[in-house]
Amino acid sequence: MPRSPRLAVPLTVALLAVSLPLPAAASPGLARPDAAPAVASTFATGSHRPTAAGRTTATSLGQVQTTLRDAATGAAARGCVSLVPVDRDRLTIVSLGEEQAGRHAGCTGVDGGALVAADVPPGRYRLLARPYDKLRHGLQWVGRHGGTGQREHGVTIQVRPGRTVTAPTVRFDPPGTVTGRVTRAADGTPVSAGYVLPLPVVPHPKYGDHGPMTDDDGRYTLNGLGPYHWPLYFTGYGLASQWSGGTTDRTQARTVRVRAGATVTADQRLVAGSVVSGTIAVAELPNYSQVIAFHARTGDVVGTVDVGADYTLRLLPGQRVLLRCDCAYAPSRWFPNAAEVAGARPVRVGPAPVTASFDLTGPATASTR
């Protein structure tokens, strides 16, 4: 008998901190820090390309350095910086229990200030800075001259093989709070156990906690955001996930203005959305199997559902999505039968139900790109 979808609870990805020295040579024209080496944190990832011998060498990777400070005083601050891919295909490298914030990051040492993220695959990244002291400092996307709540307004850095790139200084501002109530658009009843987040997640059905959940009355409180305009991501069981303002596209979301030391209100009504469903043909289904929907243009997660022999996913109409089935003891499969996201066929979500089935009993189709 197929398993019914169940509410998922995500797992926070921890940063593994290891002390690494800086390389002997940095990129031309970039400042080299005179301070003691910072702490560098590196996530395991399948995103870097192997060499001809099938190995990823140190010279094929780069690193990023920056400094974390209090915006008002200039004092060194402690925290971590995630390197979030700009390119859509790399952004879709996210698995069960993970926040969609990339898999490479760096953290400061105990004294704060200098930070290095090492072993970073070449590519374009934006920086998401997370303070240790969330009562004093707020989350931010790193801009050229300060923080922002909108990813597209953040600085883009280019990591090159064997080079060190110096990113703008992170200037932490005081945090603010967002509170509100989430209800069903159909009848106004509260949405309980839904998430309100600044970034999408691929929730784990059993383990972890990625952020505030709505209570039985649909109310939530989201702390620790920097004082900027933020798009917020709302989820609810049996409802379509959506960005603030009821849109499918993060870049078109109605942002919430967060103010330092203050609480602002942002209510949201969630719609049921359109049904995307299908069957899963596989020799053996792992305990935790999911179909994940990604926005075809931005690469953001727009919906997830646990699966059995079939699945039913609810998505906002008016978007095109890429569907990935993490449903076997083998690499993921992209609809209809691709091994990589480059070979995925977009599914258009309209008002009518859509069928998209997966057959993992045979080999995947290699991408031609």
Q: What is the DSSP letter of 247?
A: B
Distance of CA 161 to the CA centre of its chain: 24
Q: Where are the alpha helices (DSSP H) in the chain?
A: 88-91
pLDDT tens for 34-51 read 333 333 444 333 333 333
Longest dimension (CA), the chain: 63
Distance CA 79, CA 99 (A): 17
Closest C-alpha among 17, 137, 31, 29 to residue 77: 137
pLDDT of residue 256: 98
Average pLDDT, the chain: 86
pLDDT tens for 142-183 read 999 999 999 999 999 999 999 999 999 999 999 999 999 999
Residues 91-108, mean pLDDT to the nearest whole number: 96
Please enumerate in sequence order all residues whose Cβ is within 8 A of that of 176, keeping only pairs 6 or more positions apart, or say none.
Answer: 138, 225, 226, 227, 258, 259, 260, 261, 262, 263, 264
Q: Which domains does the chain have, with CATH numbers?
A: 17-172 (2.60.40.1120), 176-270 (2.60.40.1120), 274-359 (2.60.40.10)
Distance CA 281, CA 338 (A): 15
pTM equals 0.84
Q: How far is CA 142 from CA 165, 215, 242, 267, in A?
A: 15, 32, 24, 27
pLDDT tens for 110-124 read 999 999 999 999 999
Q: Which of 4-18, 116-130, 166-180, 195-209 is least confident?
A: 4-18
Q: How far is CA 114 from CA 22, 229, 244, 274, in A?
A: 11, 27, 35, 48
pLDDT tens for 254-303 read 999 999 999 999 999 999 999 999 999 999 999 999 999 999 999 999 99
Distance of CA 50 to the CA centre of its chain: 24
Angle in degrees, CA 35, 40, 46, rounded to 5: 150
Phi, psi at residue 216, to the nearest 5°? Answer: -65, -25
Distance CA 80, CA 65 (A): 12
pLDDT tens for 212-238 read 999 999 999 999 999 999 999 999 999
pLDDT band for 92, please (50, 70, 90 cuts).
Answer: very high
The two structure tokens encoding residue 251: 């870049």
Contact yes or no for 210/201 (Cβ under 8 A): yes
